[in-house]
A and B are shown apart, each in its own frame.
Chain A
Amino acid sequence: MKWFKSNSWSLALLPAFLFTFCLVVYGLFMAAQESVTTLNGFSTDAYKKIFQNEAFLDSLTYSLRIAFVSTTLSLVLGLLLTKFLFETLKNHLARTMVWLPMLFPHFVWGYMMILLFSQTGWFSTMLHAMSIIDSPDQFPVLTNDRYGIGIIITYTLKEIPFVVLMLLPVYAQLNRDLPNVVKTLGGNKWHVFKTVEWPWLFPVLMEAGLIVFAFILAAFEVPYLLGTTYPKMVSVLAYEWFYQGDWSKRPESFAVMMTVTAIIFGLLVLLLSLVSRSRYRMMKGNGM
């Protein structure tokens, strides 16, 4: 109790903690409980069933692949954009421009991608005008396709601004003298990046990557709009099972979401061990 008296500021964290525990952790706990509860009491049948269910396994690999590809693309492109446009991005107007793609919800972006990339979309029309294709079905299937290309394009474009906004403060706080030290010692641009920028970028990139990956892996709206009937992304599958008429699929639906949660937790643990906190300012607030 003495600790609390001398650290009364810690009460300021109380609302945030109450919210996290009473809503999020409680919700997750209830979901876990429902995934192991059947009419006959405790049972792990739901997990056994989903891991023998080909539809789920396909859906899981499909989702993991989409999340991995989109995350990697948005991290790489976001990093390049921030690195080469950092000076420009100091300008208010430029930063407002980075914010703007966030103006539309991601499912509206999804719809715009349909307008652009579908077989009867604008790019297809453009190719027709250039006499490269004769009919819509000669245009590759890029939306509602088997590989999730439409979903990947949507999320990559939508998450780049987020990555840029996470990385901007890192570049803003970099010591401007260190690149000169590297150059004096005979280093080139790559050495500057590797020794000066990377140690600061790494933890922030990892954090942004985890947030983006978790978000896409468990996303519902865009896959619902741009996905195929088979395989479905995990959240779409879980949502459908959750609403199946007789509720018999509900434990399996919960088991699917718990599996996704477990994967994200695994990545979180991996990441925390990768990023040693003594050296890096992991999970530290930055310009978001």
Chain B
Amino acid sequence: MRENRNWSILYIIFAFVLFFPVQLLFAKSVSYGWRWGEIIPTSFSERGFTVLLNDSRFYSAIGMTLLIGIIVILLNLLIAVPAARALAFHTFRGKWIVEVVLLLPILIPSLAVAMGIHITMIRLGLADHWLGVVLVHLIPTVPYSIKILRSGFERLGQKWEEQASSLGGTKAAILYRIYLPQLLPSFRSMVFLIFVISLSQYALTSIIGGGNVLTLAMLYFPFLSSVDEAVIASFSIVFALLPICVMIGFELVFRLVIPYQKRVFLD
């Protein structure tokens, strides 16, 4: 009984907080001349999506967003996997200082950092270039990757690794056959979160990209001041579709690369 009641509370919260606004967004995207006073739209049109799909900048923005997001995810893996494992399995004096330092990038306002490195980026030729934007997107993402992967390693414990190496497993085999499959839920969470964060950056992209690196967020903000609500709503939906596509893409890669997986979607 109690269990059932909890489920219904969760569904009510879910419906109110998520389902309802999103449904309104969908309705708005296909509505036509939806005026104040009408609870549901009276006429429909696919015009919102058509305007968007006929805009050539839209496609290049999607390409740029995907390129930046995917490279940010891969760099995150390179930085976070070793750090997360070290933090999960080793204790040492002053560990809390290391932990605080690695948390700094999300505590320090990223706008201050981006404004600060702007001149250096210009000197290095990274400003107005997607590489510079990738670097600056690492700031709000790396601490989360370390956190997610660290808890993954902690849940796993060190026993698996010890057992494998006592049976003669090499480091590469341990990584491939033990860590990759068992950390899969953490990788999924990470890919999802990192991509959404990268997708959400307007100010950082604008400062370092200087208007030359056109991501979806850069395109979205000018659209917001237009009065065409159906187009804005259609555009907003694209923001949710893109992470889903990236998740599916990474899922296919995981299926191909990672051995012995449980078929569960999100953890």
Interfacial residues, chain A to chain B (CB-CB below 8 A): 7, 9-17, 19-20, 23-32, 34, 81, 84-85, 87-89, 92, 94-97, 99-109, 111-113, 115-116, 120, 122, 124-126, 128-129, 136, 157, 160, 169, 210-211, 214-215, 217-218, 220-221, 224-225, 235, 238-239, 242, 253-254, 257-258, 260-261, 264-265, 268, 272, 277, 282-288
A28 touches B112 (CB 8 A): yes
B147 in contact with A288 (CB, 8 Å): yes
Q: Are B151 and A169 in contact (CB under 8 A)?
A: yes
**Which residues of chain B (67-118) have a CB below 8 Å from chain A?**
78-80, 82-90, 92, 96, 98-117
Stretch of B36-44, B163-171, B249-257 at the chain-chain interface: B36-44
B104 touches A257 (CB 8 A): no
State in angstroms the CA–CA spacing of A120 and B220 once bound together. Answer: 22
User: With A102-B196, A103-B243 in contact, do A30 and B25 touch (Cβ < 8 Å)?
Assistant: no
**Do B151 and A23 have beta carbons less than 8 Å apart?**
no
Cα distance A111–B238 when bound, in Å?
14
- Asked if B248 lies at the interface with its beta carbon under 8 angstroms from chain A, I say no
Query: Once the chains bind, are A19 and B142 in contact (CB under 8 Å)?
Result: yes
Measured between alpha carbons, how far is A130 from B24 in the docked complex, in Å? Answer: 19
Q: Is the CB of B116 within 8 A of A30?
A: yes
Total inter-chain residue pairs, C-beta < 8 Å: 256
Query: Given the complex, which residues of B lie within 8 Å of A136, measured CB to CB?
Result: 36
Q: How far is the CA of A13 from the CA of B148 in the complex (A)?
A: 16
Q: Pick the contact of B79 from A15, A242, A284 — CB < 8 Å?
A: A15
Residue with the greatest number of chain A CB neighbours at <10 A, chosen from B36, B85, B244, B267: B36
Q: Which of A29, A95, A214, A225 contacts B116 (CB 8 A)?
A: A29
**A112→B115 CA distance, assembly (Å):** 30
Question: How far, in angstroms, from A28 to B107 measured CA to CA in the complex?
Answer: 12
- How far, in whole Å, are A15 and B10 apart by their CA atoms in the complex? 41
B6 touches A30 (CB 8 A): no
Q: What is the bound-complex CA distance between A284 and B21, given in angstroms?
A: 35
> Could you jot down 19 A-B contacts, CB within 8 Å?
A10-B92, A16-B82, A19-B105, A23-B117, A27-B114, A31-B115, A34-B116, A87-B6, A88-B3, A94-B7, A99-B192, A115-B24, A125-B39, A220-B111, A238-B111, A260-B112, A268-B100, A284-B99, A285-B146
Does the CB pair B107–A30 fall under 8 Å?
A: no
Q: With A and B bound together, what is the CA distance between A181 and B4 in angstroms?
A: 28
Q: Is the CB of B148 within 8 A of A288?
A: yes
For A27, the chain B residues whose CB sits under 8 A away are: 112-117, 139
Chain A CB within 8 A of B217 CB? yes
Q: Which residues of A contact B266 (CB under 8 A)?
A: 92, 95-96, 99
Residue contact A105 to B9, C-beta cutoff 8 Å: no
Q: Please indicate the chain B residues that have their CB under 8 angstroms from the CB of A284 in the complex.
A: 99
Q: Are A81 and B13 in contact (CB under 8 A)?
A: yes
Contact (A94, B10) CB under 8 Å given A108-B240, A285-B147 = yes
Q: Give the distance in Å from the alpha carbon of A277 to the alpha carbon of B105 in the complex.
A: 22
| Contact call A28/B108, Cβ cutoff below 8 A | yes
Contact between chains at B106 and A211 (CB < 8 Å): yes
Complex contacts, A287 vs chain B, CB 8 Å: 148, 151
Decide if A107 touches B189 in the complex (CB within 8 Å): no
Task: Tell me the complex Cα distance, A129–B139, Å.
Answer: 47
B-chain residues with CB within 8 Å of residue A224 when the two chains form the complex: 202, 221
A107 lies within 8 A of B9 (CB): no
Select from chain A the residue with minimum beta-carbon distance to B98: A13
Q: Answer whether A16 and B83 are a contact pair too, CB < 8 Å, given A24-B105, A87-B6, A104-B240.
A: yes
Q: Cα distance A102–B194 when bound, in Å? A: 11
- With A92-B264, A125-B36 given, is the CB distance from A288 to B151 under 8 Å? yes
A268: which B residues are within 8 A, CB to CB? 100, 107
- B111–A12 touching, CB < 8 Å: no
Contact check, B113 vs A24: say whether CB atoms are below 8 A apart.
yes
A228 to B: closest C-beta gap in Å: 15
Question: Are A16 and B142 in contact, with the CB atoms below 8 A?
Answer: yes
A238 to B118, CA, bound (A): 14
B183 within 8 A of A: no
User: Taking the nearest CB of chain B, how far is it from the CB of A102, in angstroms?
Assistant: 6
**Which residue of the partner chain, among A26, A258, A286, contacts B151 with CB atoms under 8 Å?**
A286
* Residue ID in chain B nearest A34 by CB atoms: B116
Given contacts A16-B102, A136-B36, A287-B151, contact A106 B24 (CB under 8 A): no
Kindly list chain B residues whose C-beta atoms are within 8 Å of the C-beta of A214. 106-109
Q: Which residues of chain B come closer than 8 Å to A13, judged between CB atoms?
A: 82-83, 86-87, 98
B224: interface (CB < 8 Å)? yes
For A272, the chain B residues whose CB sits under 8 A away are: 96, 100
Q: List residues of chain B with CB within 8 A of the CB of A14.
A: 82
Q: Whole-angstrom distance between the alpha carbons of A17 and B98 in the complex?
A: 9
The complex places the Cα of A214 from the Cα of B104 at a distance, in Å, of 10
| CA A17 to CA B145, docked complex, whole Å | 14
Q: How far is it, in angstroms, between the C-alpha of A25 and the C-alpha of B18 when the chains are bound?
A: 37
Which of B37, B86, B200 contacts A12 (CB under 8 A)?
B86
Q: Are A116 and B13 in contact (CB under 8 A)?
A: no
Taking CB atoms and an 8 Å cut-off, the chain B residues in 105-141 that contact chain A are 105-117, 119-120, 135-136, 138-139
Task: Name the 5 nearest CB pairs between A and B, nearest first.
Answer: A31-B116, A218-B109, A285-B150, A27-B113, A12-B82
